[in-house]
Amino acid sequence: METDILEILNEKIGPGERKTINFNIAKLYTSTEVDIPVIIERASKPGPTVLLTAGIHGDEINGVEIVRQVIAKKINKPKSGTVICIPILNIFGFLNADRAFPDGRDLNRVFPGTKTGSLASRVAWHFTKEILPHADYCMDFHTGGASRFNAPQVRIRPDDEELLKLARIFNAPFTVYSPNIEKSYRSTCQKMGIPTLLFEGGKSLDSNKHIVKNGVDGVMRVLNSLEMLRDTFKSSEVKTNTVIIEKSKWIRAQKSGLLHNKIDCNKFVVKGEFLATITDPFGTMRFKVLSPNDGYIINVNQAPIVHQGDAIFHISTVDSTTNPEDTSEH
C-alpha cells in the first residue's frame, strides 16, 4: 500500500493526482536528451500500486501498444491505489528499432544493474532503485524475438501459488511455467518480493490487434480483481480458462532450406500431425516436419528460410486446463 504522498524520481504525487515524469539517464551523441516517460495515475482512495512496463526490448511493439491503449482508454486511472505506466523502457532500442541497447546489451539480462556499469546496466540500476520499490504488482509485456510468433501467454515460475492465481485472473490463452532467468527483470522482482506476470504475444517489429486485445483485457481483469478498475469499465467475460503449460520443448529444423508452415499458432496438434515442410531452392528436396507428441503449438517461426537446428515450433508436452479454484495438481 502506498503512503499519502508518493515520491518517485524526486517528484511528489499526492492522492488523486496525475503526473508524467521523465526518467532520464543519458543523452544521444548529439547531446539531445532522451526521456523515458513515466505516467502515474493515483486515486484518492488508497490501494495497491501496479506497475505496467513494455519495451524492455526496443523492437517489441505489441507490448508498447498494450500499455499505450491502457493509457489512451484511461484504464490506468484507478478508483483506488496507483497505476504506473512505462510504455517504453528501452527508449534507445525503440529509436533504433533494435532489441538491445546501443552498447549491444540486452536490458533484460543486466538487472538489477550497477550505477557505474554499461548504459543498459545503469538504466536497470536506476529503475530498480527509484521506481520498482514502489510497486506491489508488476505486469511486463513482451513479444517473441525475430520472426518467432508467440501465442498470447503469461509466463510464471513453477510452484508459485500466488503467481498462478494472478495468471488465472489475467487469463491469457496460455499460462506457461518458465523458471526465472538470472539477471532478468522478472528475477529481480521475485527477489524483491513483487508478484510479476510476464506477458508474451506476437513477434518483434509487428503489431497484432488480437495479441494487444489479450493484453489489455488481462490488465483490466487484474485491476478489477484488486478493486482498482473504475466502474465505467467492464472487465471482459471469461469464456474459457487459461491452459496451463507445465512443460514444453522446441521442435528444431532437421534440414536447412525454405520453411512452409502448415499450421497456426495456438493450435492443438496430435503426434505425427503434419506441421510444415522444408524444401531446398532447387526443387530436389522436400522434408516433412511432423509433431513429436500431442500438444499445443505456442510459438511458430514465421521466417521464410531456416538453418538446420533452428527452433521452428514450441510445443507443450504436459498441459491441463484447470478451474480457477482447482490447484490440487500443483
* String of DSSP letters for 275-292: EEEEE-TTSS-EEEEE-S
CA torsion angle 308 311 312 317 (round to 10): 130
What class does CATH assign to 248-321?
A: mainly beta
What class does CATH assign to 6-225?
A: alpha beta
**Exposure string over 290-308, b if 16+ CB within 10 A, otherwise e:** ebbeebbbbbbbbbeebee
Topology agreement, domain 6-225 and domain 248-321: no
How far apart, in Å, are the Cα atoms of 232 and each of 77, 78, 220? Answer: 11, 11, 12
Worst-scoring range by mean pLDDT, 21-35, 82-96, 138-152? 21-35
Grid cell 524492455 — which residue?
A: 56
Residue 261 has pLDDT above 90, yes or no: yes
Q: Please give the pLDDT value at position 330.
A: 27
The share of the chain scoring above pLDDT 90, in percent, equals 91
Please, what is the average pLDDT of the chain? 94
Average pLDDT of the segment spanning 27-36: 91
How far apart, in Å, are the Cα atoms of 218 and each of 48, 130, 132, 177, 301? Answer: 17, 26, 21, 18, 25
Supply the DSSP symbol for 101: -
Residue ranges of the domains in the chain? 6-225, 248-321
End-to-end CA distance of the chain: 29
**224-240, pLDDT tens digit by residue?**
999 999 999 987 778 89
pTM of the model: 0.94
The share of the chain scoring above pLDDT 70, in percent, equals 95
Q: Please give the pLDDT value at position 327.
A: 30
